[in-house]
Amino acid sequence: MTGPSATSTPGVRSQVLVAAGLRPLVLALCLVLPSPTWAAAVDRDFEEKREPESEVQLPPFPQPENLIPFTVSATTNNQFLIDGASLSVSDDGVVRYTLVIISPAGAQNVSYEAIRCQTAERRLYALGRSDQTWVKARNDQWTRIRENTLNRHHAALHAEYFCPIGINLLTPDEIRTTLRRGGHPALGKH
């Protein structure tokens, strides 16, 4: 081939040099930032290794004298309460509880749920009916807890009450104390 090569022209040569200089940076970013495919594979592997959960016994319907209020955020007008009598903690760090949410108009939502401290996941077991009985949830799969307005109460329960900064509360009594205190003392709550 006669004549100048493609890399001998000044404009092309500078583009090749810039691209070559970026190659290590792009490679480093690929190694540091996980791909969605990799994250999905890790989630699948984790799900496959998890022990199947035994059948969960639903608790008695919550009574007003056992309800402990907790703070979710200043931006909600709903009242959030945990039935202290329903609290349990399994050996693998799963906290089960009955949640009562009361709207400003007085409407109540009652649910029996769980939070897995180690993986920051939640699960809905049953919903309360107006006749004070339970109906099993149609979708009772473990799902990740996300910090958003709609489900802020799950994030608050996980991070501020049940599993603060990597501390697994061991007994229902510890959790009741933390709820009454307004959060875990490790978070500066008294």
181 in any annotated domain: yes
- Residues 19, 126: Cα–Cα separation, whole Å: 56
User: Does a structural domain hold residue 31?
Assistant: no
Residue 45 lies in a domain: no
Question: Which residues of the chain carry a pLDDT beneath 70?
Answer: 1-54, 149-150, 166-169, 186-190
Residue 129 burial by CB count (10 A; 0-12/13-18/19+): exposed, middle or buried? Answer: exposed
Type of residue numbered 93 = G
Specify the pLDDT at position 17. 44
The verdict on residue 72 lying in a domain is: yes
Q: Is the dihedral of CA 164, 180, 85, 151 positive or negative?
A: negative
For residue 10, what pLDDT is reported? 57
Tens digit of pLDDT for each residue in 33-57?
444 443 444 344 444 444 555 678 9
Spell out the alpha helix ranges (H) of 33-171: 36-49, 152-156
**Residue 98 domain-assigned (yes or no):** yes
CA 134 – CA 125 distance, rounded (Å): 9
- Is 157 within 8 Å of 147 (Cβ atoms)? no
Structurally, how many domains does the chain consist of?
1
Assigned domain for 94 exists: yes
| Residue 95 domain flag | yes
| φ and ψ of 116, to 5 deg | -95, 110
Q: What is the CATH number of the domain that holds 76?
A: 2.40.128
Distance CA 67, CA 70 (A): 10
Residue 2: inside a domain: no
CB-facing half-sphere around the CA of 90: CA atoms within 13 A: 15
The backbone region for 112, taken as left when phi is positive above 0, alpha when psi lies in -120 to 50, beta otherwise, is beta
- Domain span at residue 159? 64-187
Query: Would you state the pLDDT for residue 189?
Result: 55
Q: Residue 148's pLDDT is what?
A: 76
